[in-house]
Amino acid sequence: MTRLSSVIAPSFHTIHKDIKADAHTHYWLGGGRGSTKSSFVAIEIILGIMSDSNANCIALRKVKDTLRDSVYEQLSWAIEVLGVDDYWHKSISPLGLTYKPTGQQIRFRGADKPKKIKSIKFSKGYCKFLWYEEVDEFTGMEEIRMINQSLMRGGKKFTVFYSYNPPKSANNWVNAEVQLTRSDRVAHHSTYLSVPREWLGEQFIVEAEHLKLTKPTSYEHEYLGSVTGTGGEIFDNVQCRKISDEEIEDFYNIKRGLDYGYAIDPLAYGVMHYDRKYKRLYIFHELYKVGLSNRAAYEHIKEENKNNEEIIADSAEPKSISEMRQYGLRIRGVKKGPDSIEYGIKFLQDLEAIIIDDTRCPETAREFLTYELDKDANGNFKAGYPDRNNHSIDMVRYAMNDEAREFRDRKPADEKKEARRQRGYQQMDAFIRF
């Protein structure tokens, strides 16, 4: 009998116990080369099917043609290394693995044909296990949710694995997704450094160490699975976490912003607290919806804003502002200017932290985490900030516009003061040297 400690790397021991205890549903496993994350998933699926007579599995890649050389081979390896080859039937056409004693199956699908995923049925049991290998190749969580909704049916317990090498960009949808909080999810990171050297071989170590010496940034991304960034990330100060009711009760500097939308663009309304002393912004309420009338938005805002505190809205919509005033809201248009977008974003970038309750404000969190500069045809970053997927960001800028204008007006004076101070240091150094 194979000892699991001989096939599961130490970094996955706690995750193995978590899965065994049915503690969570979604397991996001990121890591660099040689971290054995895919090997771990394959072993867990084989063990899980053999221990639950109703469990089946669907293993997915974005492109169907990559299935055989990746997830199929990885699961076949797990069967062999666990010493249970006699209990499994392997099929190439169609691609599949069958547990002989019960007829349970592992099937393989490419997401390039999502309609075929919807029609999957099992003669025995249900699809308990799902595996998204190289999940960063998928287009985003909307695609993942559609597949999950189709497959996660007919059973009491599900285990979904998402394995990937973290993309360079901090604002890539995968890197953003794992920062969001869900009680039924675990995000885990692993590297080759926790794997026994004999599992990897000496040549693997040689290649890794050579890249570490010659191209350290590439080493960090490829072997350590670090999010090294592309340089185009706009907000690197975002934190996603639950903001408790007790915290909200103590907030005293409340700000409200409103960005209008209707046919294509969503209306975005948000509520936040600004801690001026510690330069922290707490965003804890949002209304974010396409096709919402001003009247329907007013009804929501009236219920949330019971004391009718002031709202700062997009001044490009004077008719909508007037309509909201007629309903009884205290609302005014934001003061814009040729540089208002730039200084508004720079003000937000300068904050120590933008703390977003991603359960209460999922769309606001998504926008801040994924906002990134555009590139031109040569791969260079374009000047200016993209005007898309930024409705909540605009709403926050409007709410904080007065503070942002103070920031803009204060900064030149601060820079001059700092320049004078530096010149004083230089003169002092020159005097000492003299």
- pLDDT at residue 434 above 50? no
Instruction: Give the homologous superfamily in CATH for domain 4-222.
Output: P-loop containing nucleotide triphosphate hydrolases (3.40.50.300)
Q: Given this chain, do its domains 4-222 and 238-408 carry the same CATH topology?
A: no
- 28 beta partners: 162, 187
* pLDDT of res. 417: 53
Interval 101-142: pLDDT, tens = 999 999 999 998 776 787 788 989 999 999 999 999 999 999
Q: Using pLDDT thresholds of 50, 70 and 90, give the confidence band for residue 422.
A: low
Q: How far is CA 138 from CA 30, 85, 132, 157, 184, in A?
A: 15, 32, 9, 24, 21
* pLDDT of res. 229: 83
Interval 78-103: pLDDT, tens = 999 999 999 999 999 999 999 999 99
Neighbours of 380 (CB within 10 A): 10
Q: Transcribe 117-184 into DSSP letters.
A: HHT---SSSEEEEEEEETGGGS--HHHHHHHHHHHS-S-S--EEEEEEPPPS-TTSHHHHHTTS--TT
Give the span between the Cα atoms of 139 and 15, in whole angstroms. Answer: 27
Higher pLDDT, 115 or 218: 218
Q: What percent of the chain has pLDDT over 90?
A: 82
Asked if residues 182 and 26 have their Cβ atoms less than 8 Å apart, the reply is yes
Q: Which residue has tokens 């922290």?
A: 280
Q: Which residues of 41-61 are buried (b: 16+ CB within 10 A; e: fewer)?
A: bbbbbbbbbbebebbbbbbbb
Neighbours of 131 (CB within 10 A): 26
CATH of 238-408, one of 3.90.580.10, 3.30.420.280, 1.10.3720.10, 3.10.20.600: 3.30.420.280
**Total-model pTM:** 0.81
Interval 58-73: pLDDT, tens = 999 999 999 999 999 9
- Mean pLDDT (the chain) is 92
- 239 beta partners: 355
* pLDDT of res. 383: 85
Interval 145-184: pLDDT, tens = 999 999 999 899 999 999 999 999 888 999 999 999 889 9
Domain boundaries, the chain: 4-222, 238-408
Assess whether the previous peptide bond of 94 is cis (omega < 30° from 0). Answer: yes
Q: Which residues are catalytic?
A: 134
* pLDDT of res. 421: 56
